[in-house]
Chain A
Amino acid sequence: MSSLENRITTVVVGGGHAGLAASHFLSERGIDHVVLERGEVANSWRRERWDSLRLLTPNWQSRLPGHAYDGPDPDGYMTMGEVVGFIDGFAARTRAPVRTGTTVTSLRRTDDGYHVTTDQGELACRAVVLASGACNLPAVPATLSEAVPAGVEQVTPFTYRGPDQLPDGGVLVVGASATGVQLAAELRRSGRPVTLSTGEHVRLPRTYRGRDVLWWMDASGVWDTRYDEVPDLTRARRLASPQLAGTPGRTTLDLNALTADGVELVGRATAVRDGQLLFSGGLRNVVSLADLKMERLLGTFDAWAQETGVDSDVKPPERFEPTRVPGSPRLRLDLRGGEVRTVVWATGFRPDYSWLDVPVVDGKGRLVHDGGVVDSPGLYALGLPVLRRRKSTFIHGAEDDARDVVDHLAGYLATRR
């Protein structure tokens, strides 16, 4: 193979917002590189999202190095088509050297760097930036999924496109983070009875004191908190996305809103026994944890507003009704009884490192890294939760992280020349 082998200094795996941000800073430093993309630029946004999805972040917040939203609706939320257009625009503006339709099938260490095998050929390089995403696969609890009777359809956010694709009848949505609450609301609006199985979650109002709640996260500096300043980093990196939806009406989509729409809340799905799905009796606890954490966060926003004088520019502090829980939440649901025709697994996502032949993934499938510097010389990561900052996985979080990581990478190349 060596006669066919291409040599290049740096390979970026993944042509999404994170990989393209890395490419931008690599170009700025004159480091020759290639971005390998299995599909097209922004592939996951194109192919692995349901039809109605919009970004959780408002348009004005969508920014990449030298590239910002300039449309007529700064407070709106991009549809997936608009996100693809935005990222495509960035790729074109930065003239990113993207090789589309190129899937990396193996990455392994060599004496002087890495050997990259793709379905289009081989590459040798000195440094690699893993920007292949944090959400490549649905994290479905296998023991539960395997025990669901054959007559009940099962979908994940990767296979779900819209309500029309599901059979009529009841739906159980498992998971009440951003994906779960959005799909529960959409399926309920389609006229189906919806039950929502709720474990630990993050509750947020869409707007607070007249501003988007993510404006507060941004302006008050919460999102800029560095990974080495976060008290419990493991927990912060595992935290699910908040109960938010990007809708034209900027409405809050918390459990109270879903209850008002007729969605039935039950506890975390724990086991299937004799065709019965069992739910935890701890629903009140997870709801109370989320209410308390939201109150605490809003309290820090208020304190920040007072300290900085922002108080006079925003509406007065608000407090929200505690989450209502049914008097006796159901503890079991007969999956054979016909009440539920579809189970939607909104139980999270995980990255796919099956192609990574470098021992840098721990027993739980998580990449071992220190702020994106992977424990293997010349190997870097971007776009993972709280990689270097709380905002790391957001589109606007890519810029600062990519700059830092490329700084480190450039230093590495300089010392090893």
Chain B
Amino acid sequence: MTTIDSIDNGVNVQALLDARETLKGAPEAARFTWRSTTRWENGVHTTSTVKDYFGLGAEHSHKTESSFTADHPEVFAAEDHGITPIEYLLVGLGSCLTAGVASVAQNRGIQLRSVEATLEGAHDIRGILGADSDVRNGYDGIKVTFSIDADASREDIEALVAQSQKRSAVFDALTNPTDVTVEVA
């Protein structure tokens, strides 16, 4: 019999549960601001950096600055220095859901051996090209397929995946409307 203490997916669930209790009484501390800066290189090629964020009432920095190159493929008549911005949405969703699976598994005492999420976003580019005003610009659907090897029944694994969506920031941001303000400084 595996106990919760003996399994280790590398997630400090106790710290998260403690934070949940603490922040219940401190809603202001729970407010985070995430930031990124995007610089135009040339053509449709950009470089984005992420370093600082605000949370728990103070400014913080990641240990290192991360840099992300975005471009468009040659079939879009671009130079393909990096992935397209809409692919970054898949990166965000896949990493968020997978992190959620690991956290929920840790909390439920399920040892994971491997987790792989494959994401596919269906996209009709007539929208962004302005070729058909009835076609939206973004994805018309995203499919995520998880392959999970773990000490658990199929039912328990499905429950992990379901719970991970329920508590996912990126899943929420993609499935529900978000108010977006874009200004010129």
Contact = CB atoms under 8 A, between A and B. Distances in A.
A193 interface: no
Interface string A282-302: 100100110010011000000
Contacts of A296: 155, 159
A282 B165 contact: yes
Interface stretch (B43-51, B81-89, B173-181): B173-181
Contact of B171 (A270, A271, A285, A292): A285
A280 interface: yes
Given A289-B163, A289-B166, 15 more contacts: A267-B175, A270-B176, A270-B177, A280-B176, A281-B176, A282-B172, A282-B176, A285-B165, A288-B158, A288-B162, A289-B162, A292-B155, A292-B158, A295-B155, A328-B140
Nearest to A282: B175
Interface string B115-158: 00000000000000000000000001100000000000001001
Interface of B: 140-141, 155, 158-159, 162-163, 165-166, 171-172, 174-177
Contacts of B177: 270-271, 273, 278
A27 B171 CA distance: 55
A271 B175 CA distance: 12
A292 B162 contact: yes
Nearest to B141: A328
Interface of B is mostly: helix
Return the 4 tightest CB-CB contacts between A and B, nearest first: A281-B175, A282-B175, A285-B165, A271-B177
Contacts of B175: 267, 280-282
Interface string A241-280: 0000000000000000000000000011011010000101
Nearest to A273: B177
* Interface residues on chain A, size class: 10 to 19
Interface of A: 267-268, 270-271, 273, 278, 280-282, 285, 288-289, 292, 295-296, 328
Contacts of B158: 288, 292
12 contacts: A267-B175, A270-B177, A271-B177, A273-B177, A278-B176, A280-B175, A281-B176, A282-B176, A285-B171, A289-B162, A292-B159, A328-B140
A310 to B, nearest CB: 23
Nearest to A295: B155
Interface centre among A280, A281, A289, A296 (most CB of B within 10 A): A281
A344 to B, nearest CB: 22
Contacts of A281: 174-176
Nearest to A270: B176
A144 to B, nearest CB: 12
A293 B139 CA distance: 30
B101 to A, nearest CB: 13
Interface centre among A268, A273, A278, A282 (most CB of B within 10 A): A282
A328 B171 CA distance: 17
Contacts of A273: 177
Contacts of B176: 268, 270-271, 278, 280-282
A296 B177 CA distance: 32
A71 B176 CA distance: 50
A278 B178 CA distance: 11
Nearest to B158: A292
Nearest to B136: A331
A181 to B, nearest CB: 21
A278 B174 CA distance: 13
Nearest to A290: B162
A328 B143 CA distance: 12
A282 to B, nearest CB: 4
Interface centre among A268, A278, A289 (most CB of B within 10 A): A289
Nearest to A281: B175
A280 B177 CA distance: 8
Contacts of A270: 176-177
Contacts of B162: 285, 288-289, 292
A241 B175 CA distance: 25
A282 B166 CA distance: 9
A231 B170 CA distance: 27
A306 B140 CA distance: 47
A289 B160 CA distance: 10
A292 B153 CA distance: 12
